[in-house]
Copies of this chain bind each other. A is one copy, B any other.
């Protein structure tokens, strides 16, 4: 039978590594740090992973899985384009802020040179997300009869939205005054109507 996810050693290692990479950065975290955090020796750690890069890749790939499951999947089930976009914003912010899903911020920040093959796989998944968002924005634009033709291309709008949200990890502190729910509403308002509506 398959492994219980809670005690699968690879999953545990990935969780610990994600925490350390997020706190100290990938380069500043040694394999010894990861092993020690798990009450393991470095040799023991290498029994489960072949290399440090493999850990990073698995982490990033897992981060894309999370995005797929928590954002893209649920969102695709929504019929109305505008509601679909609003939900995407809400869920994307939720994933970035999630304490449990530290892989996401690691993936957003680290751009350590993986082997070209692995790098391509991650980039392909990122691009898939961008294109989905781009198409979704284009769809919403079509349902909203603007006065003239819209000034903003779906592509630029997609990058702007991703920037707004993906930058949050740089300044957000859970103990701060700006809470998740308020953030979702305000960012949604800015993207749909601007900061001065």
Contacts and interface: CB of A to CB of B under 8 A. Distances in A.
Contacts of A195: 137, 141, 150, 152, 157, 160-161, 191-192
Given A159-B171, A183-B156, A151 B189 contact: yes
A106 B166 CA distance: 18
Interface string A171-195: 1000000100011011101111111
29 contacts: A27-B28, A137-B195, A140-B196, A146-B196, A150-B195, A152-B189, A152-B190, A152-B196, A152-B197, A156-B178, A156-B182, A156-B190, A159-B171, A160-B186, A160-B187, A160-B195, A161-B195, A162-B167, A163-B165, A163-B166, A164-B164, A166-B167, A190-B191, A190-B194, A191-B195, A192-B194, A193-B193, A193-B194, A194-B194
Nearest to A130: B171
A83 interface: no
A151 B186 contact: yes
Interface in A75-124: 109, 111-113
Contact of A197 (B151, B162, B170, B183): B151
A183 B166 CA distance: 18
Contacts of A157: 186, 190, 195
